[in-house]
Structure 1
């Protein structure tokens, strides 16, 4: 063990990173030193450390470079130095992903794996399992089984973790090690028991019944390892989420029982599981009491865990957290500012209106001491307060404005701006105050993107204020002082005032005329365009190109333009046929610091490349929309199929996503036999040539819509047809022979009105649009709805018509108002009034459209 001890000189050396500015070529040349005899272990360890550092910094080696370094490293097996041998195992693991012929060291690793030196055995197991492919696993299976039940905990854990990694590539082989894993669960070593349970759960992840048996049996036994018990709690919570029946009650009782465990880790895991269950529990008091005790703990980690979990609970059960107010207030002065921030934000979410001013004073005492990340958490909590207590908008807006003047990065300033923007949009009384603060901020704003967003808001909300002219000065200052993108945004904002406030139009034209002399092309072009549109005085033109401009999805717009140029370059391009950019939902329910979520991507973007496999798809014009997938099979069947409908102006492409869950079968010549309604025409069928185990692939059917709108509604009957080839479950190699034909029935599905329209909730000028459409054909009818609750009835109507939930308004009488465009481009306005009646719920539905058959079709969707 003396090899592990550092020299005193090394301990005193506190310099910078010794591996900075490493050169890959020099290090690879240094690896030739491994061939020398005798080997200097210290120097070799240093070279191997450099190689590992480069690889972990993302440095890419060519296959030849990796292979040369790999085989140079294997020469060091002759050394008996413990530290060097362990470094060799690490390098073998990392280089094996890039090098060729790595299988050649299998015998050496197997020898170390079965040797008497325990320090080598665990590392050798990990390295061996990382380089061994499925064909070689059979040869080491006996050794792996022995290692799993080895008396040395390090060896046993290494074998279990390696088996866990192998379970994703060779699940059937690892399943045969289940008995050894079961024996490991009862081990006295905490980590061995934990890893054994992890392996047992992983081998059963696709078998719910087997998982239920495992959890039921272990929940009645006494597991010594707190780590394993935490994992068992998570498995039990997962079963509770998947089962809404009373059969899940024993698992809930087991989790509640763990609240009384002696290990703090287990207690917290149980409380965390109860708090995060989507299934509503009758009694949350035991879990809240545990978290309350954690908030008063002397350990910072427990205080953080308690405060963070109570913050999560605030979203669903604020009244349960309110009982912890005293303990949370004590945490405001906690030396750990992460704990203090979570305590404050939780109190803000659960406190009464009368306590807001006091909490604001407490926040101001430490907000300058915390990082931007935690300041953002506080800002988001204040943003929720603005919605919860609208009468406090003056104090809250002033506090946010003060934070806006402090130093901070773009993300922090953007969070504050978002909060003030939300306050302006949601609370009419706060509009003047919020806009004034934002106008003051953009005078010294250093961030271009933020200035552009604020200018856009001023252009949208400023003309609706009591004194719109006061904002024009702030906006025009940006034209004089700022960069090109900000000047362009300012021109658009100024044009909004001219479009919506006629008394300001002459002055706005003068300002736009000055902007026509700008050095930036974008600024000049916008000024000329807006001036020309305002000169016409055409209300519809002004509304479509200045006030309510549709923003198409940029990715889909680019693809549609490319396809149009390739296929129909002489025809006019219809930008209105491109799906609009989705508005991102900025609402947040959880008060905590979370990992950043990836940006949302439209479903049309996700499947655009896959649709290119369908011949002639580019000639159909722009994709109108992709309907979210629906399952055509049960989730636990041997073949899983889900359907996506890609809607075009005159066609629909049905994409059947298929997954084969049987490891001993390969499906070939997979296609879907579909029986569409009478007037549909099948244009193209694109089968799937091969469907291997657990790798999804798709079958495509391209159909032409009927010429009559009413005939497009109907039910489709389909089944999956394929040729089955048996195969080796470990290697995936098919057995000799031709296989046999088989089929699998799929659920029936429909194409309805909601699939063929792009709908959105009513805008602010919807009443004016409804009145302007008075001369269009109108379809009106009254319906008796099966729901007894008008809220549920309104949601069902939105679902049938493809409208979002925010199209619903009203309390005693619900009104659904929306605008939609049919796949052909024809518009339609919809208004539904839903009221409780003597026999249930009644609805008066009206639809107006230039095409009478489309208005009638909307009524048919409900009827």
Structure 2
């Protein structure tokens, strides 16, 4: 008699069960779930196809999901265990989209009370997945019984379900009452149950530091039988030790003895976790790390690849902080260079490079010479980083190491790999000046076959800056010229600029004449950007008249001075576009009037965007860009007003502020425009009464609480029909040497004319009325702007300002939940921009240094260094040092914080 093979049925009867699968066909097949005589094998096949569809991201409508869901629940009448498992999976996938799940709850509760342990465990997981917080109370007694069940699968299912309930906030107050049962489950003979019980117990107590500390210390002293639970305990110990920070000199780390004892555990997974934790401790000493190195050395000689890989990962981490600590492992690590697993071999190489002695550099490089071609780019980057570090460590070996990098640069590899080598060369040129010529030579060879435009332009710029200063600058021109005839427009433009640098130094007339010939060839280039750069270079550098040496020198000096712009290039671009779009070019463009602050509406295209590419890509012409910038500019309404346009562009435009509540008679928003000697308040008003016409709408302002206002000019909105926005302006001219800070009371004054609803005509007569709106406040952040270009080096900018106008002060801020919230509040209050990523604060930080830069009215650079310290009572201590080019501004910023 033939034996029926269920797996063969599912796989081979009609080919793969997923061939030509369609949602509509599967939904039709689901009707067999309602048959009186269930065909178990066919039901399994349909369920598999259904789960495949859902797993691939196929979306079922609410009606479809509900219909299928109820059909699946009818399969509970079958006793087939494999079909029941598929039913559980289907319920978990469909329950969150079905309208009703109450009908399946009874079936799952019945399975929880079943004698079959497989039913009990799976039903528990499914029920806790689809239940809500209210239903958790009804099934709590079943879950508490399962927590202490003798069957390990059932107990683990209850423990894992408790974790999920806590994680998703469903009945967490119920789960927190299970402490006794979970603690009892810690003594279960099953290692899996111990592991899940510890995880749930920690999750219940994680917000109580004292309870967590007691739990960890108790378990560390008593020990746990499960290796996985021990690993989990080590991680909890690691969190406690990281929170404790670096111990004072002479003090022992709390719980370090427990980590040390775990290094002698019978299971490799526990030993590995303990070693990894010790290596990552803050401020770990060589003496503390040495026991971990000893056990990792034993891992290196084990036959299992995963063990060797794990050990090498930690040893690489140790090599970065204490390279001498892994010296005893050198012989074993060298053996792994030839390991068949390339990942293990890569880690071995990087560890050796980080800890190599000066005498062993060449020997190691020979061993790995043919190695790079066999590994992935992500590992190649790590090798390059290790070689860069080694070169800085042993400058006398830079020739050998750079030749190795040069060979690697010409090999096959992706962008990130090539970029890492270029970055390494740039850093080495800065730290080892004598290596510049070697680096430039390798980079010149690289751009001959470079397929990455970004890297080519970067290297060409470097050749233009460093090449003329080399002993034989003429040899670099050939490489640059090759780019002019072989590359795309972006690279050709960079090559033109690089050639111009060679003529802008005191070189021989023959070399300048050669550069002139090459640049003149670029005057007929098909790309606008290349032609413009070549023409500018020839004219500004005087290369069209090489006999006049004095004129050449004078123009070169002038060009250098013009290159030092007093404002960011994007701001200059936008203002020039606006100047051209305005059409009034009779009055000259004023460079000093361009703001250094970040300006809204700056064109997103780069200055170097080529016109030919722009037309091909649909990018607007300069005139179109100017008109678009005007339309997107928040100050466009102000600049369009004839009475205010003469004031020019404001230094800063603040976001609009609502001055009225919603659904009032009139809605008013205020936009503050900050000038060097004035503040313009733009009031955007909408009349929401369809039976009124407003005329001569003024916004009267009361500046009694604001110092320094010398004169007030009011510009009304002529008419405000129903639903049509209008704008009124109030111009506050300030006294010289004062800053407009404080509150401004605002009252709208206007003439009202009634409108006939039938005809829409307004009465001839009218009456005067007033409408009080909210106050407008002027704070420190209104007068401060983020710079358009952050300083590339905060320390250099800080030193450049000097201490002549420095102000230092200390404050105590109100309660904050963390250092991060205090840092965010400081940035928002001052209106400055954070530098060098100092706005990112660790959740566990108790102290932080914040670096900020800003532009204060009018165009005054301000730098701030703030030390933020979190106190136990929730208060925050703040120490600030302000530097600027004006003593009054430095004092004002410091006093504003107080």
TM-score range, shorter chain: 0.5 to 0.7
| Corresponding residue of 2:353 | 348
Max radius of gyration: which structure?
Answer: 2
Is 1:218 the counterpart of 2:201 in the alignment?
no
8 Å Cα contact 1:710-1:857 kept in structure 2: no
| Corresponding residue of 1:128 | 127
**Partners of 2:196 and 2:530 in 1: CA distance:** 63
**Partners of 1:90 and 1:101 in 2: CA distance:** 17
The one of 305, 311, 314 aligned to 2:310 = 305
| Corresponding residue of 2:480 | 475
8 Å Cα contact 2:673-2:680 kept in structure 1: no
**Partners of 2:680 and 2:216 in 1: CA distance:** 53
Cα gap change, 1:847 to 1:286, in 2 (>3 Å): closer
Residues 496-548 of structure 1 deviation map (CA, whole Å, 9 limit, x = unaligned): 55666787777666655654544445555665677777687443332339999
**Partners of 2:158 and 2:193 in 1: CA distance:** 10
**Partners of 1:439 and 1:506 in 2: CA distance:** 22
| Corresponding residue of 2:239 | 238
**Partners of 1:63 and 1:93 in 2: CA distance:** 15
| Corresponding residue of 1:427 | 432
8 Å Cα contact 2:571-2:602 kept in structure 1: no
8 Å Cα contact 1:496-1:546 kept in structure 2: no
Cα gap change, 1:419 to 1:778, in 2 (>3 Å): closer
**RCO comparison, higher one (Cα < 8 Å, 6+):** 1
Which of 480-489 and 83-92 deviates more?
A: 480-489
**Partners of 2:364 and 2:708 in 1: CA distance:** 65
Q: How many residues are matched? A: 673
Cα gap change, 1:120 to 1:510, in 2 (>3 Å): farther
SS of match in other structure, 1:544: coil
Offset, 1:218? 1.1
Offset, 1:249? 3.7
Cα gap change, 1:763 to 1:222, in 2 (>3 Å): closer
Give 1:384-783 correspondences, 5 Å limit. Answer: 384-494=389-499, 497=502, 511=518, 514-515=521-522, 517-520=524-527, 523=530, 537-544=558-565, 565-569=632-636, 570=639, 619=671, 760=791, 779=804
Cα gap change, 1:19 to 1:415, in 2 (>3 Å): farther
| Corresponding residue of 2:111 | 112
**Partners of 1:166 and 1:546 in 2: CA distance:** 57
Residues 710-730 of structure 1 deviation map (CA, whole Å, 9 limit, x = unaligned): 99999xxxxxxxxxxxxxxxx
The one of 857, 866, 869 aligned to 1:824 = 857
8 Å Cα contact 1:455-1:475 kept in structure 2: yes
8 Å Cα contact 1:781-1:859 kept in structure 2: no
SS of match in other structure, 2:413: coil
8 Å Cα contact 1:488-1:523 kept in structure 2: yes
Residues 276-316 of structure 1 deviation map (CA, whole Å, 9 limit, x = unaligned): 11143453221111111111222222111111111111122
Give 1:122-271 correspondences, 5 Å limit. Answer: 122-168=121-167, 169=169, 170-244=171-245, 249-271=253-275
Offset, 1:124? 1.5
8 Å Cα contact 2:30-2:68 kept in structure 1: yes
**Partners of 1:399 and 1:618 in 2: CA distance:** 64
**Partners of 2:487 and 2:341 in 1: CA distance:** 41
SS of match in other structure, 2:804: strand
RMSD: 5.3
**Partners of 2:452 and 2:650 in 1: CA distance:** 31
**Partners of 1:31 and 1:557 in 2: CA distance:** 61
The one of 302, 319, 327 aligned to 1:322 = 327
8 Å Cα contact 1:828-1:854 kept in structure 2: no
8 Å Cα contact 1:543-1:549 kept in structure 2: no
Cα gap change, 1:620 to 1:163, in 2 (>3 Å): farther
8 Å Cα contact 2:706-2:740 kept in structure 1: no
Residues 480-503 of structure 1 deviation map (CA, whole Å, 9 limit, x = unaligned): 322344334444544555666787
Cα gap change, 1:756 to 1:525, in 2 (>3 Å): closer
**Partners of 1:20 and 1:97 in 2: CA distance:** 28
| Corresponding residue of 2:819 | none
8 Å Cα contact 1:516-1:528 kept in structure 2: yes
SS of match in other structure, 1:822: strand
8 Å Cα contact 2:230-2:270 kept in structure 1: yes
**Partners of 2:198 and 2:352 in 1: CA distance:** 39
**Partners of 2:506 and 2:31 in 1: CA distance:** 79
For structure 1, the 5+ residue unaligned runs are 579-606, 623-648, 652-676, 682-703, 715-749, 784-798, 807-817, 833-844
8 Å Cα contact 1:314-1:349 kept in structure 2: yes
Offset, 1:389? 2.1
Is 1:274 the counterpart of 2:281 in the alignment?
no
Cα gap change, 1:524 to 1:359, in 2 (>3 Å): same
8 Å Cα contact 1:478-1:486 kept in structure 2: yes
For structure 2, the 5+ residue unaligned runs are 543-554, 574-597, 604-628, 640-644, 682-704, 710-731, 743-779, 809-826, 838-850, 866-880
8 Å Cα contact 1:778-1:846 kept in structure 2: no
8 Å Cα contact 2:72-2:87 kept in structure 1: yes
Cα gap change, 1:566 to 1:395, in 2 (>3 Å): same
SS of match in other structure, 1:27: helix
Cα gap change, 1:534 to 1:275, in 2 (>3 Å): same
**Partners of 1:679 and 1:195 in 2: CA distance:** 66
**Partners of 2:892 and 2:372 in 1: CA distance:** 57
Cα gap change, 1:782 to 1:79, in 2 (>3 Å): closer
Cα gap change, 1:254 to 1:498, in 2 (>3 Å): same
Cα gap change, 1:109 to 1:856, in 2 (>3 Å): closer
Cα gap change, 1:85 to 1:859, in 2 (>3 Å): closer
8 Å Cα contact 2:337-2:348 kept in structure 1: yes
Q: Scaled by the length of structure 1, what TM-score is found?
A: 0.66
Which of 193-202 and 236-245 deviates more?
A: 236-245
| Corresponding residue of 2:292 | 287
**Partners of 1:25 and 1:551 in 2: CA distance:** 60
Cα gap change, 1:488 to 1:98, in 2 (>3 Å): farther
8 Å Cα contact 2:391-2:397 kept in structure 1: yes
| Corresponding residue of 1:814 | none
Is 1:334 the counterpart of 2:333 in the alignment?
no
